[in-house]
């Protein structure tokens, strides 16, 4: 189970001994490859993977950038920030999501930030690190060094990483065009405050499983977000395997799309990963996420 908000203070004192939830432990810990130690602090933009260190508030933070074949710094490609569950790292996020392969097919950059102690300080978990600041600094660096398109910056993740997507949407204004949280939600103490909402338009596509023990919390988060942004939902569209897709149009010209998968748990739909993937979910989240991102560049408020 996830850590509840009232336990956060105690959790901050106990990390890294205490975890952020058995669901995430199941997904990211066992079998996760450790990222290679960066050879240098500055990246040299080119196709393939590069692991980079970024000093942030007295600590060396690490992220990996993946660029598709044929990439050159003259290109201005979209950027997808992909965030891992707890406990895990960017290598596992790449394995679970298959975003590197998708990037190679479609032509975009992927950045995988590593959380310290394999966690992000997201909405309900874990720790006290300034992960918003770190990821904001990483994004600016990738925009500058890799010449990513500032109109097409996106974030996705699962569980702790998906919660972080919602946090970035609120706390990094005018940065993200859209987010796609998977098996995660707009939940926690901060989200109970009416003023805690995006200050610039950020479209959302989210995937939630009916068998996920946090399903009810995720639904309440969708309702809170939709109420604050005056999002009006259309009729649910029936897909295969009893899956529905609901699209809501919001006051600020953003959209909120919800995929409800009644037979899925705390998983990434379509992934073959044995820990947190669900290859029988009925849809491929990675394909749908890129389709959504591609259709949602930044919009003026």
Task: Give all domains of the chain, ordered by start, each with its CATH number.
Answer: 5-294 (3.40.50.1820)
Question: Does residue 145 register a pLDDT over 60?
Answer: yes
User: What average pLDDT does the segment 155-167 reach?
Assistant: 98
pLDDT of residue 123: 97
Pairwise CA distance, residues 143 & 265, whole Å: 35
pLDDT of residue 29: 43
User: What average pLDDT does the segment 92-105 reach?
Assistant: 98
pLDDT digits (tens, 9 = 90+) for 208-242: 999 999 999 999 999 999 999 999 999 999 998 89
pLDDT digits (tens, 9 = 90+) for 255-279: 999 999 999 999 999 999 999 999 9
This prediction's pTM? 0.88
pLDDT of residue 10: 37
pLDDT of residue 241: 82
pLDDT digits (tens, 9 = 90+) for 54-63: 999 999 999 9
**DSSP one-letter string for 12-78:** HHHTTSS-SBHHHHHHHTTTPPPPPPPS-SS----SEEEEEEEEETTEEEEEEEEE-TT--TT----
């Amino acid at each position: 189970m996830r850590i509840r908000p009232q336990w956060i203070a105690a959790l901050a004192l106990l990390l890294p001994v205490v975890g952020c939830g058995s669901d995430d432990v199941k997904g990211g810990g066992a079998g996760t490859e450790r990222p290679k130690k960066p050879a240098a602090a500055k990246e040299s933009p080119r196709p393939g993977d590069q692991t980079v260190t970024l000093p942030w508030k007295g600590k060396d933070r690490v992220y990996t950038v993946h660029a598709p074949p044929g990439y050159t710094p003259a290109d201005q490609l979209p950027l997808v920030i992909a965030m891992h569950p707890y406990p895990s790292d960017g290598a596992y996020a790449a394995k679970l999501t298959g975003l590197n392969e998708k990037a190679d097919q479609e032509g975009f950059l992927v950045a995988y930030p590593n959380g310290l102690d394999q966690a992000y300080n997201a909405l309900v978990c874990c720790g006290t690190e300034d992960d918003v600041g770190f990821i904001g600094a990483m994004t600016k660096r990738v925009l500058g060094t890799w010449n990513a398109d500032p109109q097409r910056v996106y974030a996705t993740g699962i569980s702790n990483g998906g919660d972080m997507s919602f946090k970035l949407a609120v706390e990094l204004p005018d940065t993200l065009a859209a987010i796609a949280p998977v098996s995660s939600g707009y939940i926690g103490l901060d989200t109970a405050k009416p003023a805690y909402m995006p200050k610039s338009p950020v479209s959302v596509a989210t995937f939630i499983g009916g068998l996920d023990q946090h399903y009810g919390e995720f639904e309440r988060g969708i309702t809170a977000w939709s109420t604050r942004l005056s999002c009006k939902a259309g009729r649910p569209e029936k897909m295969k395997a009893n899956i529905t897709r609901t699209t809501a149009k919001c006051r600020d010209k953003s959209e909120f799309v919800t995929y409800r998968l009644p037979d899925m748990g705390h998983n990434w739909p379509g992934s073959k990963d044995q820990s947190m993937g669900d290859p029988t979910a009925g849809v491929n989240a990675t394909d749908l996420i890129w389709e959504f991102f591609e259709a949602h560049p930044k919009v003026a408020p």
